[in-house]
Chains A and B, each alone.
Chain A
């Protein structure tokens, strides 16, 4: 259930809230675009340039572009998720706590 509307209104007016939201949305949107671009680039290569996916990195090596790219995708997506959680659970949660503390203080006054 939504709690008191005045509290939300006060948070909304707080400049820290605007900053928190702007910064987090920028990060989220940026990472989301990166994920889509990287993923669909890979899928695009699969559809339109399949020879590259099957090509070996060098003659005599069994490492192919497709598998190396695939493993990199797994690692990259994990790293990217880790990066987001690190920022969100650290920096952004701290900003949120500060913001709420400040708004509650205002309320007492």
Chain B
């Protein structure tokens, strides 16, 4: 466990593939899980009904990109929480706590700390300045063509890497949970994702996300209550028994080796905190509510839900140490302490089975499948928006495209992204895709976040600075990840990594900021002066919301 790259442990779904990879042979493939498939079908039918309902109301591009701004703060809060609570959080971090104890909890804390930062720095101004995508804000007073293209490229890169990582993880996981073939699993995920997004747009995607977030919290809470029942609902008893059976003993709740290196810990936490503020599918959710007030509320709700769920996960991990690790039926060949059935990431599933029987296992499996669908749909929507709104309507057509034309492009873009995701999912089936999530977060923190942040907070930013800064972040984050152990050793099989850290943010993010600053400062063109002057109006709008896009009425 300790030799695996940090990121494969929790951030991604790809952790499922990384950990479960050795167990991928047909022997460990689960028998067809009928209870799980039944419950999942109910979810699919229900969400397709919502998609049909949403499709009938979808008339404008605003409906497609931002649900017409008609989502309430509470609904959007649940959807935001849903975007953040992926299946990997439930499975990967429960597994991490199961093996390493406290390290898992420290991860959860670092993972959580991005939210108050998002609230303070981004929410209000983003909602006041933007309409559909974060590129609206990056290019607000700068060169529409060049800066928007740069922002859209950053956005699409993040979406693609994240999407492929999710697809590969999803295929492996569904194979394990449902006993379906990998390719069929990919096709199902890809097809449903395309249906939700092309027909239902942001409305359907948001509702899929809301329902899934709700189910995930209910499922987690149920398993927790059933498990805590075995410890008389006493944290003290739980910890005593966990310490008595775990190999770490009394050191179970002391930090382990994963975060021992301060620079790695720092780079990881920077990537998590500021990467969150650069993820396009999270940022575009701010535009689905009517105004800054609702946007703030939605982040507050999301913070609460995520905080609650993360602590549930901590307790689930501790409970599984006692309940799962001593039960021979969860180990290959019935050997306690040997290899877990289905791979390390199955801990949460085994716990559900142990305390709630096959029904609970089926329910949690169905929720996990729903989680994957919801997250890939959000990503596909963010990607389609970057293509249709930023690249097609604003850069290529320069604002002359009609709504109908733009809407048509969103559909083709979604279908294209879906096909790319399925195709790459098949190509990368047997690759360790952990690097893709490191890349997604690294690029989000280094390419998207710095320029977006500077465009809102620093009057000095010019087109030249934004371009150099954005591309510097993009290229350096990619280069650092490729030269790190994640790609150089794990994918290309070189013996030693050229860059010693698996997380690029500590280095690539300051580089991007520095490049944007220096090249803006050195820019003395007349255009740069106009751009600096335009900051004044942008500042007023960002602060007051005067002129901000409102909700469209139906």
Contacts and interface: CB of A to CB of B under 8 A. Distances in A.
B260 interface: yes
Interface in B239-274: 239-240, 243, 250-251, 253-255, 259-262, 265-266, 269, 273
Contacts of B273: 39
Interface stretch (B104-112, B182-190, B508-516): B104-112
B543 interface: yes
A58 interface: no
Interface size class of B (residues with CB under 8 A): 35 or more
Contacts of A100: 544, 546
Contacts of A81: 115-116, 119, 299-300, 303
B116 A35 contact: yes
B397 interface: no
Contact of B296 (A31, A62, A85): A85
A48 B260 CA distance: 8
A70 B109 contact: yes
Question: Which secondary structure characterizes the binding site on chain A?
Answer: helix
A82 B120 CA distance: 11
Contacts of A2: 537-538, 541, 547
B459 interface: no
Contacts of A73: 109, 112-113
Interface stretch (B42-50, B304-312, B471-479, B487-495): B304-312
Contacts of B113: 35, 39, 73, 77
Contacts of B124: 88
Contacts of B266: 43
B254 A51 contact: yes
B121 interface: yes
Max chain B CB contacts within 10 Å: which of A24, A39, A42? A39
Interface residues of A, number: 53
Given A2-B537, A7-B546, A11-B546, A50 B121 contact: no
A86 B540 CA distance: 22
B545 interface: yes
A32 to B, nearest CB: 5
B54 to A, nearest CB: 27
Best-surrounded residue of A42, A74, A100 (most CB of chain B within 10 A): A74
B240 A62 contact: yes
A73 B105 CA distance: 12
B53 interface: no
A74 B254 contact: no
Nearest to B543: A21
Nearest to A1: B547
B235 A62 contact: yes
B230 interface: no
Contacts of B543: 17, 20-21, 24, 96
A6 B541 CA distance: 13
Nearest to B255: A50
19 contacts: A9-B536, A11-B546, A12-B536, A20-B544, A28-B120, A32-B120, A43-B110, A44-B262, A46-B265, A47-B261, A53-B102, A53-B253, A66-B106, A71-B311, A74-B307, A80-B116, A88-B124, A89-B296, A89-B297
| Top 7 closest pairs, chain A to chain B, by CB | A54-B254, A62-B239, A3-B547, A47-B262, A50-B255, A8-B537, A8-B540
Given A47-B262, A70-B105, A81-B116, 11 more contacts: A8-B536, A11-B544, A28-B121, A43-B110, A62-B235, A64-B254, A75-B307, A77-B116, A84-B296, A88-B293, A100-B544
